[in-house]
């Protein structure tokens, strides 16, 4: 994944297994914080992160037309910020990536899955409050 340094604007490649780690910009050596926002994932990025992450990965399967998905989005973003360094949050648009939704038999959205060590540890369809999402990652 490519992240832009907030200090100098340089682009830095961050391996999937280091998304939850603090790092340093390759150019200016400023600290790069762990990813603190949901990452829009395509199939390749999804597979890379889920397989390599050393922390739990919460995946939000959603679609733009879905009202409950739009209502859950701020909670998902807040959770990503709150859990930075302890979890990674991915968002998969089921309209843009139907093959990925099909792989996990996603029937209703929003649909949340937690992966640990590349394996599904939890799944729930339907919106949930941030406190409940946090408990899934514990």
CATH number at 49 reads: 3.40.30.10
Per residue in 2-38, pLDDT (tens digit) is: 999 999 999 999 999 999 999 999 999 999 999 999 9
Residue 68 belongs to a domain:
yes
Is 8 a residue of the active site?
no
**Residue 87: partners with Cβ closer than 8 Å, 6 or more residues away:** 20, 55, 56, 57, 58, 79, 80, 137
Active site residue 66: yes
Q: What is the domain count for the chain?
A: 1
**pTM of the predicted model as reported, rounded to 2 decimal places:** 0.93
Q: Catalytic residue among 5, 25, 28, 66, which?
A: 66
Would you say residue 29 lies in a domain? no
DSSP-derived secondary structure letter, 38: P
* 4 within some domain: no
In a domain, 9, yes or no: no
Q: How far apart are CA 123 and CA 44, in angstroms?
A: 21
Domain that holds residue 46: 35-137
Determine, yes or no, domain membership for 30: no
Does residue 58 form part of some domain? yes
Q: Return the ∠ at Cα 70 (arms to 18 and 102), rounded to 5°.
A: 65
| Residues in a beta bridge with 12 | 3
Is 6 part of a structural domain of the chain?
Answer: no
pLDDT tens-digit series, residues 92-113: 999 999 999 999 999 999 999 9
Cα dihedral 58, 61, 67, 68 sign: negative
Residue 1 within any structural domain of the chain: no
């Amino acid at each position: 994944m490519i992240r832009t340094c907030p200090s100098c604007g340089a682009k830095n490649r961050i391996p999937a297994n280091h998304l939850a780690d603090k790092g340093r910009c390759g150019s200016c050596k400023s600290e790069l914080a762990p990813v603190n926002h949901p990452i829009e994932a395509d199939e390749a990025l999804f597979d890379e992160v889920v397989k390599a992450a050393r922390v739990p990965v919460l995946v939000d399967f959603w679609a733009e037309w879905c009202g409950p998905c739009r209502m859950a989005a701020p909670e998902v973003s807040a959770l990503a910020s709150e859990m930075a360094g302890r979890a990674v949050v991915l968002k998969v648009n089921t309209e843009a990536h139907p093959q990925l939704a099909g792989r996990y038999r996603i029937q209703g959205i929003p649909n949340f899955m937690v992966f640990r060590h590349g394996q599904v540890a939890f799944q729930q369809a339907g919106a949930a409050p941030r406190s409940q999402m946090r408990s899934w990652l514990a």
